[in-house]
Amino acid sequence: MKKNKINYKLLGATIFLFIALLFSLTTKWALKNFDFTVEELIFHLKVPMKGSNLVVLFDFLRKCLLKTFIYVFILTFILRNPFEWKLNAKIKNKIINVYPLNYNETIYVIFTLILMIFSVFSAFNKIGITAYFNDQISKSTFIEDNYVEPKEVNLVFPEKKKNLIYVFVESLEPTYLSKNVGGYQEVNLMPRLTELSNKYTNFSNTSIIGGALTVPGVTWTIGAIVSETAGIPLKIPIEENSYGEYKTFLPGAYTLGEILNKEGYNQLFMMGSDAIFGGRKSYLESHGNYQIFDYYTAKERGRIENDYYVWWGFEDNKLFEYAKEEITNLASTNEPFNFTMLTVDTHFPGGYLSNECETLFDDNLSNVAYCTDKKINEFVSWIQNQPFYENTTIVITGDHTSMDANFFSDVTDYERTTYNLFINSSVSTDNLKNRYFTTMDYFPTTLASLGVQIDGNKLALGTNLFSNEETLVEKYGIDYVRKELAKRSNFYNKKFIYNDK
């Protein structure tokens, strides 16, 4: 019995068809649901995805991968079905002579190759990969020209060092507020944060409540953590480097965590997800000797059951309760502390609505935002009623603008920014409004809020917003800063990535 030989040309064409359709469906799905950057996409291809949200994964499997298999089956049947395609006989004979397959098989191979090429180029352009690679072949000295080495700046701490409670709120932006106070909603989804913003310090890009402008390298969580604590963007080289290949994450950076650790602060970073995701654990452990409390810590300590898993791990309702316990423990010592936490309920897509949250609005994310506003306000109130509050500064920031493309699809003629709030700062300023700055400026600003005197008021690429010094955005303009930070920086790669300590 003669065995059927594998037709590798047809097998290759089928693989091309699968890749082409997967590219097209994934691009359409991603652009419809997520507001993301190429830097984030490439970064997550270079680091372990362990700890990512299963909701997003399952949505991808259902809407992209499963559909691809179905479409490939249907198209393969249609294109290889043995009926005669209507073509001029002369053209048909030339095709068969050039390519050693029967006529229908030849049509199938040609179709898949054309579709493959079109899909890849279309996806690259829509997502911005083509522009990203163009930036990578354009060199810039902007970072090198403006970087201020934090190690060389004289920092003078007050005799009695203040505690720091730093809250990264997932995807928190002023856009959630009503239009009359600085947002874009008809109804204010965060009335309590609005009140706090008017009472305490909110640096704004407008004359009312606003925030920090976005630049390349700071628009996803680990990029935001790096920018706010190290004063630099998280840039992703396209060559051989992977962030997972080195002993430390950004070994050449000198950060807020390292400065506070040197000054004797006890430091703890809490999150309800897996700290490994996105390189967060590596960054925190190599820059400041942080204790880390994450999803797995909660299981190990019996705070949640071994099989408990919601959203990204455990929800913010539990996170804030555990935070109170950990802060109380830190405050019981005679040493200053830095307690930093990262919330998760407002993460895309749509956010996570806990059982205790009210459902006042038609869409899920509006309800989540309103509930998060309430939880943050209650947490702040709890801190303010503790004996350690008098000597504690609270910093609340959005890590980045939301990636939920559906909720913000109608936002036009409005500059989306990331939220900030400084409570019980040791210093103040009248220069709060109509400021142009980025999250990198929070690095020196946070230290200043603790009463630290900063010689020159600049650290890394950040400027102390409590001072009268111009930020890089105020000096050069936002368009120029974005353009230069998007380009390749040999100085950045050499100093921060390859410079193992």
Task: Output the six-digit token pair for 176.
Answer: 């959630």
d(CA 442, CA 448): 10
Hey, CA dihedral for 167, 169, 173, 178, is it positive or negative?
A: negative
d(CA 400, CA 165): 19
Tokens 């402008």 correspond to 213
Band of residue 246 on the pLDDT scale cut at 50, 70, 90: very low
| Mean pLDDT (the chain, rounded) | 85
**pLDDT reading at 96 higher than 70:** no
d(CA 36, CA 41): 8
Distance of CA 440 to the CA centre of its chain: 14
Report which DSSP code applies to 421. Answer: E
- What does 372-390 look like in DSSP terms, one character per residue? HHHHHHHHHHHHHTSTTGG
State the pLDDT at residue 489. Answer: 93
- What does 100-112 look like in DSSP terms, one character per residue? SS-HHHHHHHHHH
* Assessment of whether the complete model's pTM goes beyond 0.85: no
d(CA 396, CA 194): 13
State the pLDDT at residue 501. Answer: 45
**pLDDT reading at 321 higher than 50:** yes
Do residues 337 and 268 lie in contact, with contact meaning Cβ atoms separated by under 8 Å? yes
Count of residues making up the chain: 501
d(CA 2, CA 324): 74
How do 291-293 and 337-342 pair as beta strands?
A: unpaired
* Cα-based angle 13, 16, 17 (whole degrees, multiple of 5): 90
At 362-401, the pLDDT tens digits run 999 999 999 999 999 999 999 999 999 999 999 999 999 9
Q: What is the mean pLDDT of residues 142-171?
A: 97
- What does 211-272 look like in DSSP terms, one character per residue? EEBP-TT-SSHHHHHHHHHHSS-----SSS--GGGSSSSSTT---HHHHHHHTT-EEEEEES
At 324-349, the pLDDT tens digits run 999 999 999 989 999 999 999 999 88
**pLDDT reading at 469 higher than 50:** yes
